[in-house]
Amino acid sequence: MEHMLEPHRENISCAYCGDAPINHKLFYYASLISIALDNHTIKVTKHAPKFLVNIVDAFLVFFFETSLFFGWAKLSDDIDKAVTFRSRVIWEEGRRRGLEMKQVIFFGRALDQYRTRINGKIFYFDSLPIPSKLLNLNQNWDDKFILKKEFEKSNIPTPKCFQFGAFYPQDLEQIFNKFEKPVIVKPRIGSRGRHTVTNIHDLEHFKKGVEVAKGLCAYLIVEEHLEGHICRATFVNGELVGFYRATPTHVIGDGKRTVRELIMERDMNRPDRVEKILVNVELENYIARSGFGLEDILPNGLRLLLSHRAGRLFGGITREMLSELHPSFVPILTKAAQLVGLPVIGFDCIVPDPTKDAHSQKWGIIECNTLPFIDLHYYALQGKPMNIAGKIWDLWQLPTINVPQ
């Protein structure tokens, strides 16, 4: 899925990070701290009195304003320097409403932090301007294991899963045998499919997948592999405001050409705004788990998936399809949003066919994003874009106006 204004993909150092490379060691140790402390911290902070929340907000303003005073930071009104497309669509909508929004440049580095002024008061925020008074976090919903266990309790569709510490000795064969095949192994926390290994059918590939996943995170998740499109359901203030579908990248065999040749043909005929398929070690390992190599001739009519990644940055087709979503999905997704209880939520789902009855197919919610990339609903190749940024600014109960640009 596409979100970031990133360096060119040929400069990416880790194939398993996709288009969003991060420091592995730093994230690994951060995951240890996060999983150990986050939920304890949440239990304390969710009962914090309002005046403490106000103090935290005031400290953030004080820190950045002090940094501006001493010249450590500066503010930019250049929208083209927005770090993410998510922030850009927020910025564009803010301008239409006459709001002054500027980006923080800290010691020369552009941050995904922004400043705005609402009703004469200064606010700083991280990409999405969500009022802090609405942020009542009762669980670490970005933790994939916690999410699935809580959803299971409420009979919300989610894949069966098992978690374990990557630093403990484990009987991987015993874990692998808990599941029907294929399975998936992924970091327990993290986003954007980093170091996720899917479509695993045998123990050898499972062990390799564990090695890939534990290179990024101290705790791992094993879960059943759901078949279907990768979808994003986005909620604002309890309302389903966008439903995006990304078709996994694939080729179809003709009994004559190799997988590599089929990829080349697909690249030559790709739609505008769709990137070439990135042939790297992750792709090679993925198709190997289906029994193929790049130089193998693909049998006639066989559809071969090339990656667990989807979206136009990975050669896939995307569609915004809220109006086409079968109505049976809405109460289920809304129940999940009510359980999480946050003003802005993005659920990643695997769905075979979003236009058919939810109860007639096997599907599930696989992740929750508490700072979702709303730009997915704007830049899809097909369908009508949804103005989700407007819904987020509406959380401040501001008048909707159009200001000439």
Residue 124 belongs to a domain: yes
Q: Rounded CA gap, 125 and 118, in Å?
A: 12
Residue 121 belongs to a domain: yes
| Cβ proximity of 345 and 323 under 8 Å | no
Angle at 342 between CA 333 and CA 159, to 5 degrees: 40
Alpha helices in 170-279 (DSSP H): 172-176, 203-214, 259-268
Residue 54 belongs to a domain: yes
pTM of the model: 0.88
Cα-only R_g, the chain: 22
Nearest one of 268, 230, 231, 232 to 249, comparing CA atoms: 230
Residue 346 belongs to a domain: no
Question: For residue 57, what are the domain limits?
Answer: 47-135
The DSSP 8-state label assigned to residue 399 in this structure reads: -
Residue 69 belongs to a domain: yes
Give the total number of structural domains in the chain.
1
> Going by C-beta distance under 8 Å and a sequence separation of 6 or more, which residues neighbour residue 395?
129, 130, 131, 134, 236, 237, 343, 344
**Residue-wise pLDDT tens for the chain (405 aa)?**
445 444 444 445 788 888 788 899 999 888 888 887 766 666 555 555 666 667 777 888 999 999 999 999 999 999 999 999 999 999 999 999 999 999 999 999 999 999 999 988 999 999 999 998 888 778 889 999 999 999 999 999 999 999 998 777 789 999 999 999 999 999 999 888 899 999 999 999 999 999 999 999 989 999 999 999 999 999 999 999 999 999 888 999 999 999 999 999 999 988 888 889 989 999 999 999 999 999 999 999 999 999 988 888 888 889 999 999 999 999 999 999 999 999 999 999 999 999 999 999 999 999 999 999 999 999 899 999 999 999 999 999 855 444 334
Two structure tokens written together for 385: 């874009």
Q: 137 to each of 332, 344, 345, how far by Cα in Å?
A: 21, 11, 12
| Cβ proximity of 370 and 343 under 8 Å | no
Nearest one of 368, 405, 372 to 391, comparing CA atoms: 372
| Burial class of 342 by CB neighbour count within 10 A (0 to 12, 13 to 18, 19+) | buried
Nearest one of 192, 195, 180 to 225, comparing CA atoms: 180
Q: Rounded CA gap, 8 and 117, in Å?
A: 34
Phi, psi of 68 (to 5 degrees): -65, -40
